[in-house]
Amino acid sequence: MSNIPHILSSTIVPRSLYALEQSILGWAHERNLIKGSTCRKQLAKTCEEFGELAAGLNKGKRALIMDGVGDVLVTLIIANGCAGGEYLFSSEEAENDWIAPAPQVRSMEASELVHELVRELAYICRNSEPADVYRTGRMKDMVRALNAASAFAGASLAECLLTAWMEIKDRKGRMVDGVFVKQEDLPLDSTVQALVYGSGTVRSPEQEAPVPPDHNC
């Protein structure tokens, strides 16, 4: 992927999987997530988001499944971008290709699908050249498993990805050790800490515990 994808205006809502992928990659480029990170660091985020998806499937919670599918797919798109892989979705690809899960996954129990997702994710994470994962079809296999997970929520893959996109599109933050950390999760820098906890000395909230009274006075 040599060209930087164009991020759509925040007033335009992308609907197709291809348009959503382009917007997410444009968003990632703007925040230095592609050049400033690595595929492996982004896959670590995938594993983090996968926990939410597994919990949603195991508990049968629709909102949690949709959030998990969308968040996992966002991290895979960015990881694939870091690896220089081909786009996961094509502009020529029919949306119907991603509506109905394959017959072998339609009959799966939720627990079976979790195991299938773990298997595909483990393969991708073990592979030293993630771009090759795409060429061997394993990245697509992971996306197909996510598509099946979205069906458990009675939603389409595009709906899940759109939900995630609407959540992150205006998100601010900064890169910390190759990982984008959203603003509300950033640690206070020394300047802010000095203002909050007292000028001249940087103290943590734990250090602000009240001093017990001296009964000898």
pLDDT (tens place) for every residue of the chain, 217 residues total: 445 454 444 445 567 898 999 999 999 999 888 888 888 888 889 999 999 999 999 999 999 999 999 999 999 999 888 888 778 887 766 555 555 555 555 557 888 899 989 998 888 888 756 556 665 577 888 888 898 899 889 888 999 999 999 998 886 666 566 566 666 665 655 444 444 444 444 444 454 455 555 556 5
- Within the chain, residue ranges assigned H as helices are 17-30, 39-59, 62-83, 103-106, 110-126, 130-135, 138-152, 157-168, 190-197
Distance linking the first and last C-alpha atoms of the chain: 73
Distance CA 205, CA 196 (A): 9
The reported pTM is 0.72
- State both tokens at 35: 């050049």
